[in-house]
């Protein structure tokens, strides 16, 4: 039995490709072992409040003198960190919004990235070290190496930094690009590539769900 924490952050509950690819992963995960479990959090449908006090970026012993963050926010942070650390695998739906991650997902990051609790600081604390994190990203255009837009994706790199470098997780990325090829005229000639990437992403998500759930 293994436990999955699945996060979605797309603002489109119907046509979202990151959501659809994530479902392919989860379906394969559940089919791999009947005892597998999933905790699901839709960060768009039930958004987290933004961090109300900078003191929550630190554990109590490292906060500035006199810091008194709201008890409800502190309790929420404790809940989110416990939810994360209970997971054997993390699945994150992270569509690109304005070249970065959705604000709903950024709010989650701000709660769970806490030096000396989930990331190293004065002590080597990484409770998630070595656990798999699968990031599903969908992007409206293409960001191929060697093109002018190659470095415009600021969504995946920040998740690799937070989840991989800071939390020590084993991060893999499933990408589908050109999601606007079926609706934006200048991209229409790239629709075959978009469809091929989407199919490949679904297949990879299913394979990874089966592998990690077995």
Q: One digit per residue, pLDDT tens: the chain, 214 residues?
A: 899 999 999 999 999 999 999 999 999 999 999 999 999 999 999 999 999 999 999 999 999 999 999 999 999 999 999 999 999 999 999 999 999 999 999 999 999 999 999 999 988 899 999 999 999 999 999 999 899 999 999 999 999 999 999 999 999 999 999 999 999 999 999 999 999 999 999 999 999 999 999 9
Quote the number of domains for the chain: 1
Angle subtended at Cα 41 by Cα 140 and Cα 195, rounded to the nearest 5 degrees: 25
100-122: burial string, b at 16+ Cβ within 10 Å, e else: bbbbbbbbbbbbbbbbebbbeee
Give me the CATH number covering residue 112: 3.40.50.360
Q: What is the pLDDT of residue 85?
A: 98
Cβ proximity of 6 and 17 under 8 Å: no
Q: What is the pLDDT of residue 1?
A: 86
Give pLDDT, residue 56: 97
Query: Which pTM was predicted?
Result: 0.96
Q: What's the pLDDT score for residue 123? A: 84
Alpha-carbon dihedral angle through residues 200, 202, 203, 206, given to the nearest 10 degrees: 160
Domain with 208, as residue range(s), is 3-213
pLDDT given at position 124: 85
Residue 184: the pLDDT is 92
Please give the span between the terminal C-alpha atoms of the chain, in angstroms, as a whole number: 8
* Residues 197 and 176: beta-carbon distance below 8 Å: yes
Contacts of 183 (CB under 8 A, 6+ apart): none
């Amino acid at each position: 039995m293994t436990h999955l924490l699945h996060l979605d952050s797309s603002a489109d509950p119907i046509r979202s490709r990151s959501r659809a690819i994530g479902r392919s992963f989860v379906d394969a995960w559940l089919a791999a072992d009947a005892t597998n479990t999933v905790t699901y959090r839709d960060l768009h449908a039930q958004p987290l409040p933004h961090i109300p006090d900078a003191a929550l970026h630190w554990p109590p012993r490292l906060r500035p003198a006199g810091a008194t963050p709201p008890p409800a926010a502190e309790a929420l942070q404790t809940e989110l960190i416990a939810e994360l650390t209970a997971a054997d695998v993390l699945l994150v739906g992270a569509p690109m919004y304005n070249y970065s991650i959705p604000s709903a997902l950024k709010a989650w990051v701000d709660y769970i990235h806490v030096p000396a609790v989930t990331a190293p600081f004065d002590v080597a604390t990484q409770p998630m070290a070595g656990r798999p994190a699968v990031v599903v990203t969908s992007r409206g255009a293409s960001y191929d190496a060697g093109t002018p837009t190659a470095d415009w994706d600021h969504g995946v790199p920040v998740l690799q930094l937070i989840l991989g470098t800071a939390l020590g997780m084993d991060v893999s990325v499933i990408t589908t690009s050109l999601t606007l090829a079926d609706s934006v005229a200048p991209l229409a000639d790239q629709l075959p590539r978009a469809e091929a990437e989407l199919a490949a992403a679904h297949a990879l998500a299913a394979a990874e769900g089966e592998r990690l759930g077995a």
